[in-house]
Chains A and B, each alone.
Chain A
Amino acid sequence: MMEPEALATMPHAISTQGLYLDGVTVAFDGFRALNNLSLIVEPGELRAVIGPNGAGKTTMMDCITGKTRPGSGIVKFGDRDLTRMDEASIANLGVGRKFQKPTVFDALTVFENLELALKAPRNPIACIRWVLRGEARARIEKTMQEIGLTARAHDLAGLLSHGQKQWLEIGMLLMQDPQLLLVDEPVAGMTDHETEQTAALLTGIAGERSVVVVEHDLEFVKALNSRVTVLHEGSVLSEGSITHVQNDPRVVEVYLGR
């Protein structure tokens, strides 16, 4: 295993690597959460993944981020085999993940949360000797502006509203300068206005980086205006533009028409 900090200091060329899943199968006690799933996300692409509960959306993210090892199949990011790496190494490779339930560090301020996420050597000694310099401060401030939390910089993250926590978490992903962002249900529990802002935020991020969004909210998926992959029972049911999948009779049957 490569040292995480060695990876962290490696410069990333922006968006030259795509995500490649082929024949991925994950079984829990005989139940196939993923069944021969194949998916390609191009560099810089924004992709929405939808599907009913239990379709395997979260398991798919677990496989990409190293939380779950697939029983068989290929998971590659660029030319790196993700099935052989642990969570920290994958994160340092440039794969960032936003969880369904926002997990920010409640006991730290907004600024400190972003500072922890900022790409920098990650070992204990480096963290002890870490001094916040102008450049890093400027990056944190820029991100706070992007996610609209500048005014809350020195408030504890635990005091933020649900929507603000989601943004803070997206901000923390951006601080890691990822090439691929996995975003799990970003707008769950958000107001309409917040949902619009989040769609704009994510479309702005894609291009420079690949973004995979898992979502239930179809209005939000329409606003993303991207390719859509529909999962069902652990494999791809349909793929294409939102109009295409909405008119696909199989999709209508299992998901939209319920």
Chain B
Amino acid sequence: MMTRRIVLLVAVLLLALLPVLNALPSSNPLHVSDFLVSIIGKWICYAILALALDLAWGYAGILSLGHGAFFALGGYAIGMHLMRLIGPRGVYGHPVLPDFMVFLGYRELPWFWLGFDWFPFAFLMALVVPGLLALVVGYLAFRSRITGVYLSIITQALTYALMLAFFRNDMGFGGNNGFTDFKELLGLPLNSGTTRAILFYAALVSLVVVFLLCSALTRTKYGRVLTAIRDAESRVRFLGYSVTQHKLFVFVLSAMIAGLAGALYVPLVGIINPGEFSPGNSIEAVVWVAFGGRGTLVGAVLGAFSVNALKTWLTSVAPDLWLIALGCLFVAVPLLLPKGLVGLVRRRKGKA
């Protein structure tokens, strides 16, 4: 237990060191590239998404194949704020309307864009909108006792439907192109190294906070109720627990964490478009959690980092192989690593 904490602490400290090393002059042998810092910043956001998914799937048995939708909605909320902040610096120079609205002939800001110029509101929406969507979808599904593969299919359809909707220009979210060309956030210019370091630290701190929160939650009686629901749902019902209520609670919480991950991700990468809703993204997130080890929080984070590292490496050396590799992981993990990397480590320890 103690050594595990030390390992985690060292890992966080090493990550925290990256922007510092990045600030060193490039002649210094310890210097790390902008590319590495930005890509690891992305992985940190993915790790938060993996924690969200693990909470719902690994602990409560809700296999969502649509968590990418909550992530993308969080990203869109912050993206709307970033678009508002561009102001007259856009190509068309309109004082209020973002470029795409001018291009599409909007006269004034649609009502659902109001308030997004204020950061606290936009940040709140990045959590509330995914939470509300999860509340509605979850309520309908859990109340009707839709579980297992049927629930997975519904969540997959949800993210696909949202992708198609966001592709439409008349949705008012920039259609195909989404949002990009952001200028600043909270008064900080997005193209400066300092801002990138701050965003990196914001993501890292969020990861640590979400990890500690999930870890505390899973150790309460509520966490044990979730485990019980995962393993024998109807038995929990006969104990007098409202399974609908408990599943809904964890599903909404999980969606909000996914929204947070998306909100941290968009300023880091500088773009959000409907591609983020694509069903493949949600499935990739499931592969991270499965590969790392579902039902353990460390596993979810480890899986997000390792699968994405593999993806980055493969897409640079042999781009055609990535989808095949992902497919292989999808098949091989349940067969060879049913408990993921964490299970493998535990098994090794058990033998030694």
Contacts and interface: CB of A to CB of B under 8 A. Distances in A.
B221 A65 contact: no
Contact of B249 (A99, A117, A124, A172): A124
Interface in A62-97: 65, 87-88, 91-92, 96-97
A122 interface: yes
A105 interface: yes
Contacts of A92: 240
Contacts of A65: 238
Contacts of B235: 99, 103, 105
B215 interface: no
Interface stretch (A12-20, A106-114, A145-153, A222-230): A106-114
B225 A127 contact: yes
Contacts, number: 75
A91 B240 contact: yes
A4 interface: yes
Contacts of B240: 4, 7-8, 88, 91-92, 122, 176
A107 B295 CA distance: 11
How many A residues are at the interface, by size bracket?
A: 20 to 34
Classify the secondary structure of A's interface with B: helix
B2 interface: no
B246 interface: yes
A108 B235 CA distance: 14
A124 B237 CA distance: 14
B226 to A, nearest CB: 9
Contact of A127 (B220, B230, B234, B237): B220
B220 A105 contact: no
Contact of A128 (B217, B227, B238, B243): B217
Contacts of B221: 115-116, 127-128, 130
Contact of A112 (B224, B238, B242, B246): B224
A123 interface: yes
A124 B227 contact: no
Which of B217, B232, B238, B243: most chain A CB closer than 10 A? B238
Given A115-B221, A127-B221, A128-B220, A122 B241 contact: yes
Given A127-B220, A127-B221, A128-B222, A108 B228 contact: yes
A179 B237 CA distance: 18
Nearest to A178: B240
A105 B242 contact: no
B245 interface: yes
Contacts of A123: 242, 245
B222 A88 contact: no
Given A116-B221, A124-B249, A130-B220, A105 B238 contact: no
Contact of A4 (B241, B249, B250): B241
A116 B224 contact: yes
20 contacts: A4-B240, A4-B241, A91-B239, A92-B240, A99-B235, A103-B235, A105-B224, A105-B228, A106-B231, A107-B230, A107-B231, A115-B224, A116-B225, A123-B245, A124-B245, A124-B246, A127-B222, A127-B225, A130-B222, A176-B240
The 6 closest A-B pairs by CB, nearest first: A127-B222, A91-B240, A124-B249, A130-B221, A92-B240, A128-B222
Given A103-B235, A115-B221, 19 more contacts: A4-B242, A7-B240, A87-B234, A88-B237, A88-B238, A88-B240, A91-B239, A105-B228, A106-B231, A108-B228, A112-B224, A116-B236, A116-B239, A122-B242, A124-B245, A127-B222, A128-B220, A128-B221, A176-B240
